[in-house]
Every structure is written in structure tokens, then in C-alpha cells.
Amino acid sequence: MSLLQVKSCSLKQRLILGMAAMLLPLLGLGIGTYVCLEEIVQNFEHTAREAELETLPITRLQRLLVQSSIPLHDTLANGDSRGRDRFLKLSQEINELFIEIRRTSFDKSQEKVLVQMAYQEWQEIQALSVVLFNHQQNPQVLQADLQRLTHCLEKSVQLMDQVYTIAHQEIAENLAQAQTVKQHGYLIIATVFSLGLVIAVSVALQLARSILQPLQALKEGIHHFGQNQLTHRIPVSQADELGELANTFNLMAVNLEQSQQTLKNLINLDTLTQLPNRACFLERLAEAVDRTQQDENFLFAVLFIDLDRFKLINDSLGHPIGDQLLLAVADRLNQQMRNEGTVARLGGDEFAILLHNITESEEAIHLADRIKADLAKPFHLSGHQVFISASIGIVLGNQKYTWLDDLLRNADIAMYRAKANGKARYEIFDASMHTQAVQRLQLETDLRWAIEREELEVVYQPIVALKTRQLMGFEALVRWHHPEQGSIPPREFIPIAEETGLIIPLGLWVLREVCQQARIWQTQVLKAPQNSLDSFIVSVNLSVKQLMQADLVDQIAHILQITNLSASNLRLELTESALLENSCFSRTLLFQLKALGVSLALDDFGTGYSALSYLHNLPIDTLKIDRSFIHQITFDLKHLKIVQAMLMLAKALNINVIAEGIETAEQHLYLKRLQCKYGQGFLFSPPQNAKAAGAIITGASLSNSRVASTRKGGVQRKRAPILYGYQRF
């Protein structure tokens, strides 16, 4: 068998070949022992044969001794000379044989003695025969010597018989010994070979077992491993290479099991909070939906939770504090669940709760109330005391839901309804919300087209000096006349623009339109020097997303350049919440805008988290008091005091104030008494299109403006607004 053929054999076949290779030397040893034993036996047999050859002279001597008696008797009895000659001839041969036998080296001294005694008897026979042959005529002598001779002859024959017997006994002993040696040799060879075979087979089997069993265990381990059964471990019973291989395999299985668990955690668990993530939540939600199809009485609820103002906390206190807050919120949500369902983090500041097998919808409502109350408690994070609230959307799951996307979508819709209704509350989804969401999506699509096709319109609301009703400028507002739905109020489409990012192109378009229109008024509407609009100011609102644009200053500078409008004629209005989104960035941006030459106004002052620090540190020119305070100053002393405090604060900081939403003469009167200089509202004029606003400037059309009335002596007197002598403020 070639080496290539051996390599192609299985491991078991190779072990059998190895066993055979181990037995070959043992077989060779047995054969060699057998050959040596055969040679020893042959040597014994050869020695026996040689000994047998050595007995041939004895046998012949015995025969000759017996034969010699015949001619001797014939000669003595008959006087036959031929018998005498034959006896003499036999005597010569017998003498030669005795000489030969006596020269033989016998193993036993007894043989030598017997041969010597026989030889002596033979010599006596020869002597007697001579006497007998010489006294053949004397019967008395003959008879006595003949008896003596016969006796000696018989005795010599007996002695040689004894020698022969002894010699043959030695030969028989040698042959028996050779046979015994042979038998013992065969027995030894068989015993040694059998014992060697047993030992070799035992060793080979033990070796095979020590190799094949671990390999079989490895094979089974790999099979389990291939079936993704990573908990299987290979038993390790030896400390050799196979044991090391098994240990290595087990270590690999442990590492892979840990890696798989880690990967499973990455797939199913949120890395920050260790809550189930979106994928895991959807799996459990799918199980709940499937169960509703099997059990009509099964009811579950989904709570979609979004933290309010979380971005502000992240931006102001940093992301590490934000992460700590998310961990703390996750912990409180888990505590409120009490192992009644699944709490998951969907991403960012969004959480979801799956409430299993509820009996009534009130259970979800009670849970939402508990969550609201628990989240209202302060969070203590690295030395900071943080307050947070959450908007919660609730969807009740039943048989009508077969798609997970519908469930999460509806929960998301309900959550956004909660945010729109003031945040820190919950809303239960109903079908009308989805209808409104679809309408809102369509509105977003239409808004995109409206911006692209420039279907929107900029309108202008006059800002006047409250004491003289002198026109000071306009606030630019955007209006949308939908081709199918008619006029859509800003409160409906501006939030959509904010959320979708459409506010950025929309804001740039408004800014460009306003600057261009202001320049037209400067060059065309009023050409007379007394009606100069050089100090006339138009106000444009900036959104949070616009403030976050890195190139905002460059964009504004570019618009001023292409419209040829002076920066001093432009005022940018910003809300408190917009400034607080990123206070450090906002402060830098405001100083850059101020360096450009534009004026800056703080819009809706008092509605946000007003702080004296940013009024003191920011280059704000004007405060605009929100209409919610103005509406109540005539009948609510508290609001009156708040407005008075705002005016005193602005005066102390040398900041102008504009009151928004003035609708009644009584409000106008109160503000004048509080020494508020400027205002705007429907009392003076609603927002007008560019043409009507131009007419207000020239005084050509006063019918479009509401006429302020005053009382004097109980007689009502109407007076049109003073629309000349524009003054910078």
C-alpha cells in the first residue's frame, strides 16, 4: 500500500494498519524463536543419531559374539578346522570392534566398566579357546573349559547387552529431551506470541479508544456546533494533544456562546439602558398581535412615550447627563411596570411599553398616570437637579390590528397629539387622529410644492407708536392660500415646516421677499424727502432650525446685498425657546448678526423660561410682549403687574418694547399709561398684503385700516392713524 493510499484511508483504517504494523515484529519474533527451537531440536536429534551410530559397533559386537559360539562349538565338537578358522576370523573382528568401542567416549563411566569387563571376558574366551584347541583330545579338559568358555561368552554378551541398553537409554533420553524441549518451545512460543498478541491488541485497542473516543466526541461536538447548540461541551478525559484540542474547542464554544449572547444583546437590547430595543419590542408585539387572532378576549395596550424637552437637557448639560437621565427614566419605567409587560427603548428619547393581557383600557390609563407622576419627580444627576416630563400615546390592541406598523404608527400619532395639546400628558388614539395625520401628511406634501412654486404670500402688520399712532414699520407674516382648502392659518403649516425642515427654504424665501418689498417701498412708494423710508424697519421671524444653520449670517448678508436694502432697515425676531436651544451658539450668532447691522428682537417674551442673564448678555434691541399678557391686562391685575414689570425691566436695560395683539382701545389706553411706546394688533390694522401696506404708508387708502376712536366729552370722535413722519426705534 502506497503512502497516498494510506492517507486516503479513514482514521480507523489507519489505526488498524498501525496495529498490524505493531504485530509484525511480534510475529517475526515468534518465527525467529521457532526457527531457533527447531535448530535446537535438530541438534538434539543429530546428537541422538550420532549416539545411535556409536551403538552400531556394540550391536555388531553382540552379533559377532553370538556368532562366534557356533564355529567354536563346531570345532570343539567335530574337530572341524574350518570352524576354527571362522572363529579366528570372527575373533579378529571382535578384537577390532572392542578396540573401536573402547576408544569411544561414553557419557557414563558404567558403560566403560561394562565394556572393559566384557573385553576381559572376551580375552578369557580367547585364552580358553586356545587351550581348548590345543587339548582337543582330552575330554575332561575340554568339557570343563568349554563350560567356562560358554559362561564367559554368555557373560560378555550380557555385558554388551547392558552396554547397548545403557547406550539406547541415553539415546532415548536425548530424543525424549529433544521432544520435551520442542514441546516446551512450542508452548513458550505460543504463550509468548499469545501474550504478546493480547498485549498488542489491548494496547492497540486502548490506543484506538484513546484516539477514536475523543475524535468521536469532537465529531459530535462539531455536529452540535453546526446545529448552533453552543452549550454543548466535549468531555475532556486526557491531557494529551486530543485533550488540548477538546479544551480549545470548548473554549471556542464558550467564546462563541458569549459572542452570540453579546450579539443577541446587541440585536435585542438597547446598549445604554439594557432594555429591549425596537427589534425585540416588535417581536413581542407580533406575539401579542398573533394571540389576539387566536383569542378574541385577549387585549393589550401599547404606550408610546417621548420625553419633552430632552434635547434642551442634552444641549445644556451635555450628553453624559442626558444618558444618565435616560437610564434613570428607564429604571422608573421598569419600576412602574411591576413585571406586567415589556418596557423598551425605541431610540433617542423614545420609549414604548407593551402591557400584556389587560382586562380593560383603564389599566393602560392608570399606568400612564403613574408614569406621569413618577417622571414629575426631580432627577438628581451628577450634582444637577433635572425635571422632565413625557408625552404618551396609547393604543389599545385588539383583533382589528394585524400589522405592527399600524400599531406603532397610531401610538406615535397619539403621542404627537399629546405634545400638540401641551405636552406632559397622554392621549388615547382614535380613528380621527389617523385621518388628521393623513391630512397633515398631505398638507406637508402640498407645502413642499407651494414653497417650490412660490404659492405663499407675505403679509405685513403695522407696528405703531402707541402715543401718536405713528407708523414705525411692519412685521412680516406668511400666508398660504391653498388651491383646494383655501386659506390655511400659520398655526397649522408653520409647525409642519418646523418639523420637516421646510422652514429653512421657507424662511429664506420670506426674508428675500420682505427685503425686496422694503426696498421697493423705499424707491417707489415714497419719493418725497419728508416721506423717506431710510429709517423704516421691517421685522422677520427666524425659527430655531434657521438659527442652527452655520451659514445663516452669510445668507442674510447675501439677501441684503442682492436687494440693496440697508441692514438698519431689517429687524430679526427670535423666540426665547429658540435662544435656549443652544445658548452658547445663539449668543455667538446674535453678535455676528448685530455686527451685520440688523436689529434683534425677542419675540413672545414671558411665555418661555425668561432669564435676566441672557437679556443682560445678549445684544437684544427690542422685547415683544406676548399677546396672552395683553389680552388680560384690563381685567387681571396679575397680568397687569407682569406687563408693568416687563416694561420696567426693559427700561432699565435700555431696550424698546412692542406690545403684540392689541385689539381694544382699552388695552391701548392701559399700555399708554404703562408708558409702553410701541404696539401692533387688529386695533390698528390686520396684516395686509404688500399693495395694501403700501397704501397705508402713502395714506392713499385708510379704509383698509381700522380707525382708532377716542372719547372727548362723551362724544365719540374718529381719527385716522398718523402715517407720516417715520421715526427710528
Q: What is the DSSP string of 238-298?
A: --SHHHHHHHHHHHHHHHHHHHHHHHHHHHHB-TTT-SB-HHHHHHHHHHHHHHHHH-TT-
Most confident of 29-33, 229-233, 500-504: 500-504
Least confidently predicted of 153-162, 440-449, 470-479: 153-162
Residue 397's H or E segment, with its range, is strand 389-397
As a whole number of angstroms, the distance between CA 362 and CA 340 comes to: 15
Q: Do 430 and 411 form a contact (C-beta atoms < 8 A)?
A: no
What confidence category does residue 32 fall into, taking pLDDT thresholds of 50, 70 and 90? confident
Higher pLDDT, 275 or 138: 275
Per-residue model confidence as pLDDT tens digits over 698-715: 874 333 344 333 333 333
Write down the residue that cell numbers 432650525 correspond to.
Answer: 545
CATH topology of domain 24-186: Four Helix Bundle (Hemerythrin (Met), subunit A) (1.20.120)
Instruction: Please tell me whether residue 349 adopts helix, strand or coil conformation.
Output: coil
Residue 594 has pLDDT above 90, yes or no: yes
Rounded mean pLDDT, 256-280: 84
Q: What are phi and psi of 303, to 5 degrees?
A: -110, 120
pLDDT at 716: 38
Residue 3 has pLDDT above 60, yes or no: no
Residue 600 has pLDDT above 90, yes or no: yes
Please state, as a whole number, how many other Cβ atoms lie within 10 Å of the Cβ of residue 127: 13
What confidence category does residue 437 fall into, taking pLDDT thresholds of 50, 70 and 90? confident
For 489-598, strand residue ranges (E) read 537-541, 570-575
Higher pLDDT, 348 or 524: 348
CA dist list (Å): 435 to 190, 305, 369: 101, 21, 27
In percent, the amount of the chain with pLDDT more than 70 equals 78
**Domain assignments of the chain as residue spans, ordered by start:** 24-186, 270-429, 443-719
Residue 79 has pLDDT above 80, yes or no: no
Q: Do 315 and 434 form a contact (C-beta atoms < 8 A)?
A: no
Q: Do 706 and 685 form a contact (C-beta atoms < 8 A)?
A: yes
pLDDT at 230: 67
Residue 243 has pLDDT above 80, yes or no: no
Least confidently predicted of 547-551, 609-613, 663-667: 609-613
pLDDT at 67: 73
pLDDT at 78: 65
CATH topology of domain 270-429: Alpha-Beta Plaits (3.30.70)
pLDDT at 223: 75
Q: Do 601 and 476 form a contact (C-beta atoms < 8 A)?
A: no
pLDDT at 529: 45
Specify whether domain 443-719 bears CATH 3.40.50.1240. no
Mean of the per-residue pLDDT values of the chain: 80
pLDDT at 710: 35
Residue 721 has pLDDT above 50, yes or no: no
Residue 55 has pLDDT above 90, yes or no: no
Rounded mean pLDDT, 334-353: 90
Instruction: State pTM to two decimals.
Output: 0.54
521 DSSP assignment? I
Least confidently predicted of 202-216, 366-380, 657-671: 202-216
Q: What are phi and psi of 108, to 5 degrees?
A: -110, 140
pLDDT at 711: 36
Rounded mean pLDDT, 145-159: 73
Rounded mean pLDDT, 461-472: 93
pLDDT at 190: 77
Q: What is the CA radius of gyration of the chain?
A: 67
pLDDT at 700: 40
Least confidently predicted of 313-327, 400-414, 633-647: 400-414
What confidence category does residue 526 fall into, taking pLDDT thresholds of 50, 70 and 90? low
Residue 185 has pLDDT above 50, yes or no: yes
Do you know the residue count of the chain?
A: 729
Rounded mean pLDDT, 514-519: 95
pLDDT at 154: 75
As a whole number of angstroms, the distance between CA 534 and CA 568 comes to: 9
Residue 560's H or E segment, with its range, is helix 552-563
Least confidently predicted of 31-35, 44-48, 318-322, 603-607: 44-48
pLDDT at 107: 58
Residue 485 has pLDDT above 70, yes or no: yes
CA dist list (Å): 552 to 13, 373, 671: 82, 41, 35
Per-residue model confidence as pLDDT tens digits over 661-696: 999 999 999 999 999 999 999 999 999 999 999 988
Residue 164 has pLDDT above 90, yes or no: no
Residue 465 has pLDDT above 90, yes or no: yes
Q: Do 686 and 703 form a contact (C-beta atoms < 8 A)?
A: no
Rounded mean pLDDT, 143-158: 72
Q: What are phi and psi of 255, to 5 degrees?
A: -65, -40
Residue 350's H or E segment, with its range, is strand 350-355
Instruction: Please tell me whether residue 536 adopts helix, strand or coil conformation.
Output: coil
Rounded mean pLDDT, 278-288: 91
